[in-house]
Amino acid sequence: MFQTFSFGHVVFLAHAALWTAALAGIALGGGAVGGMMIAVLRVSRTRALQWIAIAFVTIVQGTPLLVQLFLAYFGAAFAGLDVPPLAAAALAFTLYASAFFGDIWRGAIEGVPTGQWEAAGALGLGRMATLRLVVVPQAIRPAIPPTVGFIVQLVKNTALASIIGFRELTRAGQIVSNVTFQPLAVFLTVAAFYFAICYPISLASRRLEARMGRGHVEPSLI
């Protein structure tokens, strides 16, 4: 039975948009924790730990997210686990976000002048204490604009979870498109939903960028 694309379908899409937001939220939370770990490993003095972080970031940034999603989805099956698409997607997006956040935050940490490390060392602070109390507080400000910018990428990329069958906004769009036979109207509406979520974040990122400046550390913060 054909249906005409109507308000009911838009409500259906709006519900699915909440799942898009939920998946992005999970990836954001997981990626924040993972990204911190990657950044810390990356600036550690142990070669082996550095290499683990470098290898992880290189692999995630050097392969398509879609393939990573398939690997998470089929890898769970390979390990004998029967996981729902949401779990596989959550895992893949968390690892993906960890790599990018780790790289962004490493850059911010390395942007802090080495004199700060030396001064903290001279004052008798250990390496972890220096990182926590001296370096990270100064690295937060330049890290914020690119971090917010990456959140836009994260929200947009959750669309790929539709391919492994997670019913978020894009998958819902396919379902509605299949019952209405009006793909143009449906997918333009889906795009409008994404735009409504992403554009404010983009604007915020740009405003923060203008205010804080990339890689610029203000001495008054110290």
The stretch among 96-104, 109-117, 135-143, 177-185 that binds other proteins (CB under 8 A) is 177-185
- Applying CB under 8 A, the span of 8-16, 84-92, 129-137, 168-176 interacting with other proteins comes to 168-176
75 binds other proteins per the rule CB under 8 A: yes
Tokens 């550390």 correspond to 217
Question: Residue 177 interacts with other proteins (CB under 8 A)?
Answer: yes
CA torsion sign, 166 to 168 to 173 to 176? positive
HEC profile for 132-158? HHHHHHHHHHHHHHHHHHHHHHHHHHH
Q: At what angle do helices 169-180 and 183-212 cross, to 10 degrees?
A: 160
Residue 150: how many other CB atoms lie within 10 Å: 20
CA of 145: how far to CAs of 78, 204, 207, in Å? 39, 8, 8
Q: Distance between CA 93 and CA 19 in Å, rounded?
A: 14
Binding mask 201-220 for other proteins (x = CB under 8 A): -x------------------
179 binds other proteins (CB under 8 A): no
If one asks whether residue 82 binds other proteins (CB under 8 A), the answer comes out as no
Residues 8-37 that bind other proteins (CB under 8 A): none
Site residues for other proteins, 52-71, by CB under 8 A, read 58-59, 61-68, 70-71
By CB atoms closer than 10 A (0-12, 13-18, 19+), residue 159 is middle
Check binding of 111 to other proteins (CB under 8 A). Answer: no
**Residue 51 sits in the site that holds other proteins (CB under 8 A):** no
List 195, 211, 213, 218, residue binding other proteins (CB under 8 A): 195
* Minimum distance from residue 31 beta carbon to other proteins (Å): 18
> How many residues sit close enough to other proteins to count as binding (CB under 8 A)?
44
Least separation in angstroms between residue 205's CB and other proteins is 11
Q: Residue 157 interacts with other proteins (CB under 8 A)?
A: yes
* Burial of 187 per CB tally in 10 Å (0-12, 13-18, 19+): middle
How far apart (Å, rounded) are the C-alpha atoms in residues 13 and 157?
17
Which CB atom, from 98 or from 130, has the smaller least distance to other proteins? 98
Residues that bind other proteins (CB under 8 A): 58-59, 61-68, 70-71, 74-75, 77-80, 152, 156-160, 162-163, 170, 173-174, 177, 182-188, 190-191, 194-195, 198-199, 202
